[in-house]
């Protein structure tokens, strides 16, 4: 979990929404990766990459790893940038299919559109997380000595016991 | 005189208003030497409670020197006396006052009919707190008129500073009553929701009354550190799970005693129906406020006691009554019966058992009041408690 940046009125408080979004993208990575590993042929065909099942399976492994990391990590930020890099790799791979015939071009083009949309989201989430703080709100002032008692609280315990429950 | 007056939502002005005068033979007029901003004032600042008229003087925590006394209060007060003014105006003679239930005095609310419409029966008059509780002008001013002055004051010695005595007017007795009415036993865990000024005093009171351990819940780090300084185990509800931490601290059984020092800002007007609507509205708008009370009902140990100093105004939805009833929970509430505790607490301050100055983070001229309302509400600059000097 990351915390809202100094400039924010909620400084130091957790940004649950962005965090949830990052974890959601992790789940998406995991699902996509498993599909790429389990059915590389079908996936490859649908995005115009038939014959490159090896690449698809490799991408699947990458997605699974990123997905697990995003779901498990305390701080999703580095893994979100991992997704952005992965998106770029996917876009490059798909682009290579663009000049391999009209049917493949169409499928690759559609897939690129979808990946591009996800890339924008990944980028926005990664950027928001980077702007945030790794540590929760720190105290604005040091009140650790303001005990209000003449002695440490432990020594004051029960000093007014005779009043407990006189209500 | 100069005073902080209310002109609408987020519009408090330091301006010139007419000097208060004796209006009734039991009145006194006090020259205010120190006054404070309370969490309850924020409800008015945020305009959650109607019944304020533009120009109304704010404030219910103040102290000072008596400058004028009506003939019927002269047996108890004289010019020059140094006094703290309890925020609850009490006649001292009605059946409730005789039982020590000063905050529900039957006589001091001159707008009793409004209170009856809202609450069924009237409660006491309060300073600077809307027409519903009498429409009395408040103490964030150079002078204040004190009705029923012979019974609505605490005489204080001259050798202690204003800062040590001022909170006898409200938050010290409020935190104290919140803890006393729990009937704390030596084996009890007391959990306090809210580490504002009221929560801070509730924590220290629970320690003095002998609780085995005190847990403090909030999300403002410097307030949590202040709570820890007073002997509480802090839980930041935005960073950790309140349930997990509380379970770990209580063998999974929950605290025997809980204090709600958060409160809910709800709207109350003269009519039952509009009160209902407005309260519902307020609950929707502030749903995370009643969240604290729900959390308490859920986490408290069966047969436990909840103490509710936090102010609630009207009606609330989705109160887990099933848990409340089946777990056999006792709930104790109330505006503080200030005068019931002040003598005893003054003695404890004099003996040095408690030093209320720890909570003060800002001291300023009355003219800085409007800006400090905002600082306090937004918890900027580490603000916990503001004291103003008229
Ligand atoms: N009963 C009385 O006589 C009496 C007297 C004075 C004040 N009050 C009331 O007591 C309440 C507290 O007053 P204050 O001056 O300390 O105000 P405050 O606003 O400074 O304190 C409230 C605290 O509660 C915390 N909080 C908010 N939501 C929370 C949650 N879900 N869980 C835990 N903590 C949460 C806030 O961060 C804040 O620190 C107010 O409602 C006020 O009106 C009652
Ligand atoms: Zn108050
Ligand atoms: Zn009375």
Tell me whether residues A144 and B230 touch, CB distance under 8 A.
no
**Whether residue B380 sits in one domain with residue B240:** no
Q: Cα Rg for chain B, rounded, in angstroms? A: 20
User: How many other CB atoms are found less than 10 A from the CB of residue B239?
Assistant: 17
Residues of chain A above pLDDT 70, percent? 99
Residue with tokens 């809210």: B194
Which residues are paired to B387 by β-bridges? B36, B363
Can you tell me the mean pLDDT for B106-128?
Answer: 95
Task: Please write the tens of the pLDDT for every residue from A146-165.
Answer: 999 999 999 999 999 999 87
B93 Cα–ligand 3 center, Å: 5
Task: Answer whether B336 contacts ligand 1 (Cβ < 6 A).
Answer: yes
Q: Please give the residue that has the higher pLDDT: either B51 or B57.
A: B57
Tell me whether residues A147 and B177 touch, CB distance under 8 A.
no
Q: Does the pLDDT value for residue A69 go beyond 90?
A: yes
In this predicted structure, which of A11-20, B74-83, B208-217, B326-335 has the lowest mean pLDDT?
A11-20
**Whether residue B270 sits in one domain with residue B178:** yes
Can you tell me the mean pLDDT for B237-242?
Answer: 85
The mean pLDDT of chain B is 92
**Whether residue B151 sits in one domain with residue B75:** yes
Evaluate whether B247 touches B220 at the Cβ level (below 8 Å): no
Per CB-CB distance under 8 Å, the chain A contacts of B222 are 139-143
User: How many other CB atoms are found less than 10 A from the CB of residue B75?
Assistant: 9
Disruptive mutation site among A160, A161, A162, A166 for chain B (greatest number of B CBs within 10 Å) = A160
The pLDDT assigned to B270 comes to: 32
**What angle (nearest 5°) sits at the alpha carbon of residue A110, between those of residues A105 and A111?**
100
Per CB-CB distance under 8 Å, the chain B contacts of A152 are 231
- Six-digit token string for B63: 């102290």
Rounded to the nearest angstrom, the minimum Cα separation between A121 and chain B is 26
The pLDDT assigned to B264 comes to: 65
Task: Answer whether B86 contacts ligand 1 (Cβ < 6 A).
Answer: no
B264: which DSSP letter? Answer: -
B318-349 in b/e form (b: 16+ CB < 10 A) is: eeeeeebeebebeebebbbbbbbbbeebbebb
* Neighbour-count burial of B66, counting CB atoms closer than 10 A to its CB (0-12 exposed, 13-18 middle, 19+ buried): buried
**Whether residue B342 sits in one domain with residue B324:** no
**Whether residue B38 sits in one domain with residue B157:** yes
- Six-digit token string for B172: 């010290």
* Neighbour-count burial of B284, counting CB atoms closer than 10 A to its CB (0-12 exposed, 13-18 middle, 19+ buried): exposed
**Whether residue B291 sits in one domain with residue B211:** yes
Contacts of A44 (CB under 8 A, 6+ apart): A50, A51, A52, A53, A56
**Whether residue B141 sits in one domain with residue B9:** yes
Q: How confident is the model at residue B387 (pLDDT cuts 50, 70, 90)?
A: very high
Q: Please give the residue that has the higher pLDDT: either B306 or B276.
A: B306
Evaluate whether B334 touches B102 at the Cβ level (below 8 Å): no
The pLDDT assigned to B359 comes to: 98
Can you tell me the mean pLDDT for A28-55?
Answer: 95
Separation CA B87–CA B152 (nearest Å): 8
Provide the H-helix boundaries in chain B.
39-45, 95-98, 112-119, 162-165, 171-180, 197-208, 221-229, 242-249, 272-285, 287-299, 321-326, 338-350, 369-377
- Residue bearing the CA closest to ligand 1, atom 26: B194
Can you tell me the mean pLDDT for B83-104?
Answer: 98
Query: CATH code at B25?
Result: 3.90.180.10
Evaluate whether A135 touches B316 at the Cβ level (below 8 Å): no
3-state DSSP assignment of residue B54: coil
Size (chain B), residues: 390
Helix (H) or strand (E) holding B306: strand B305-308
Task: Please write the tens of the pLDDT for every residue from B24-40.
Answer: 999 999 999 999 999 99
**Whether residue B342 sits in one domain with residue B256:** no
Can you tell me the mean pLDDT for B220-244?
Answer: 93
**Whether residue B346 sits in one domain with residue B236:** no
Q: Does the pLDDT value for residue A76 go beyond 50?
A: yes
Q: Please give the residue that has the higher pLDDT: either B238 or A31.
A: A31
Q: How confident is the model at residue B72 (pLDDT cuts 50, 70, 90)?
A: very high
3-state DSSP assignment of residue B216: strand
**Whether residue B355 sits in one domain with residue B246:** no
Domain ranges of chain A: 16-130
Question: Of B303, B332, B361, which residue constitutes the final position of a domain?
Answer: B332
Q: Does the pLDDT value for residue B167 go beyond 80?
A: yes
Pocket test for ligand 1, best of B60, B261, B298, B308 (most atoms within 8 A of CB): B261
B267: containing domain:
172-332
The pLDDT assigned to B286 comes to: 40
Q: How confident is the model at residue A142 (pLDDT cuts 50, 70, 90)?
A: very high
Query: CATH code at B262?
Result: 3.40.50.720
Per CB-CB distance under 8 Å, the chain A contacts of B257 are none
- Six-digit token string for B326: 């089946």
Q: Please give the residue that has the higher pLDDT: either B303 or B319.
A: B303
Strands B189-193 and B257-260: parallel
Domain count, chain B: 2
Q: How confident is the model at residue B289 (pLDDT cuts 50, 70, 90)?
A: low
């Amino acid at each position: 979990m990351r915390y809202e940046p100094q400039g924010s009125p909620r400084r130091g408080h957790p940004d649950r929404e962005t965090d949830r979004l990052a974890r959601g993208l992790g789940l998406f990575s995991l699902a996509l990766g498993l599909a790429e590993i389990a059915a590389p042929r079908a996936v490859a065909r649908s995005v115009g990459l038939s014959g490159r099942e090896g690449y698809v399976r490799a991408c699947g492994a990458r997605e699974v790893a990123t997905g697990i990391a995003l779901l498990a990590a305390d701080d999703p930020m580095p893994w979100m940038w991992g997704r952005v890099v992965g998106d770029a790799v996917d876009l490059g791979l798909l682009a290579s299919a663009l000049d391999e015939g009209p049917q493949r071009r169409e499928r690759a083009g559609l897939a690129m559109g979808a990946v591009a949309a996800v890339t924008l989201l990944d980028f926005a989430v990664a950027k928001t997380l980077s702007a945030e703080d790794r540590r929760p709100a720190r105290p604005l002032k040091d009140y650790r000595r303001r005990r209000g008692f003449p002695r440490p609280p432990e020594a004051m315990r029960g000093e007014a016991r005779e009043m407990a429950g006189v209500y | 005189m100069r005073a902080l007056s209310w002109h609408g939502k987020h519009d408090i002005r330091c301006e010139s208003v007419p000097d208060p005068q004796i209006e009734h033979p039991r009145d006194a007029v006090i020259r205010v030497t120190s006054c404070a901003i309370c969490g309850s004032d924020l409800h008015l600042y945020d305009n959650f409670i109607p019944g304020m008229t533009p120009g109304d003087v704010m404030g219910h925590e103040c102290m000072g020197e008596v400058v004028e006394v009506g003939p019927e209060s002269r047996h108890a007060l004289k010019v020059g006396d140094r006094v703290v003014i309890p925020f609850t105006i009490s006649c001292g003679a009605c059946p409730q006052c005789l039982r020590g239930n000063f905050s529900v005095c039957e006589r001091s609310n001159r707008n009793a009919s409004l209170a009856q419409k809202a609450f069924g029966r009237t409660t006491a008059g309060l300073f600077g707190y809307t027409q519903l509780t009498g429409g009395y002008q408040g103490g964030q001013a150079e002078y204040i008129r004190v009705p029923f002055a012979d019974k609505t004051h605490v005489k204080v010695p001259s050798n202690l500073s204003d800062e040590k005595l001022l909170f006898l007017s409200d938050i010290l007795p409020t935190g104290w009553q919140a803890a006393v009415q729990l009937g704390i036993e030596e084996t009890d865990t007391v959990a306090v929701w809210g580490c504002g000024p009221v929560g801070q005093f509730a924590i220290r009171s629970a320690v003095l009354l002998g609780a085995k351990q005190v847990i403090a819940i909030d999300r403002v780090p410097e307030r949590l550190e202040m709570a820890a300084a007073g002997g509480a185990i802090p839980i930041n509800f935005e960073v950790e799970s309140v349930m997990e931490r509380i379970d770990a601290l209580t063998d999974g059984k929950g605290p025997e005693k809980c204090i709600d020092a958060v409160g809910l800002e709800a709207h109350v007007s003269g009519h039952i129906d509009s009160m209902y609507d407005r309260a519902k509205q307020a609950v929707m708008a502030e749903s995370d406020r009643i969240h604290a009370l729900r959390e308490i009902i859920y986490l408290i140990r069966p047969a436990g006691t909840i103490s509710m100093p936090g102010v609630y105004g009207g009606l609330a939805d989705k109160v887990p009554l099933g848990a409340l009833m089946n777990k056999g929970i006792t709930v104790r509430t109330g505006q503080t019966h200030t005068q019931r505790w002040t003598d005893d607490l003054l003695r404890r301050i004099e003996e040095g058992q408690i030093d209320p100055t720890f909570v003060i983070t800002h001291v300023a001229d009355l003219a800085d009041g409007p800006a400090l309302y905002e600082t306090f509400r937004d918890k900027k600059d580490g603000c916990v408690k503001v004291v103003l000097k008229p």
